[in-house]
Homo-oligomer: A and B are copies of this chain.
């Protein structure tokens, strides 16, 4: 569970992963934590946001499509993708989108 993350000025890319879990959670938490660690080490990773659980959305942000291609093809990530389809997920949608505009809000300190 991560809150909103600030990213550099657009353009850059977002990978929107929206999933419904299967109920088979064996190995999920450890692999999930490992994937965050691996993604963060890839050149061009800008940050990620995650919310939810049985129904979850993860959005990761990337400098360019080359960085996303490196992440998609990472050997350990390929194994995790396979386990996701055979075990952890009942359904998912995956989108690659070019971020064109962004804005951030932080509640002023001391606001009611």
Q: Within the assembled complex, what's the spacing in Å between the Cα atoms of A89 and B101?
A: 20
Q: Are A19 and B1 in contact (CB under 8 A)?
A: no
User: Could you say which of B13, B49, B98 contacts A93, with CB atoms under 8 Å apart?
Assistant: B49
Contact with B along A1-38 (1 / 0, CB 8 A): 11111110010011010111010000000000000000
Could you say how many copies of this chain the assembly holds? Answer: 2
A99: chain B residues at CB < 8 Å are 16, 95-97
A89 to B97, CA, bound (A): 25
Any chain B CB within 8 A of the CB of A94?
yes
Contact B92 A104 (CB under 8 A): yes
Query: For residue A97, which residue of chain B has the nearest CB?
Result: B97
Q: Is A80 an interface residue (CB 8 A)?
A: no
A4–B107 alpha-carbon span in the complex (Å): 30
Q: Does A70 contact B (CB under 8 A)?
A: no
The 8 A-B residue pairs whose C-beta atoms are closest, nearest first, are A51-B52, A97-B97, A4-B93, A3-B20, A51-B57, A57-B57, A4-B18, A96-B101
19 contacts between A and B (CB under 8 A): A1-B55, A3-B55, A3-B91, A4-B20, A4-B91, A5-B93, A14-B16, A16-B59, A16-B99, A18-B49, A51-B55, A87-B112, A91-B105, A92-B104, A93-B102, A94-B103, A95-B103, A96-B99, A97-B99
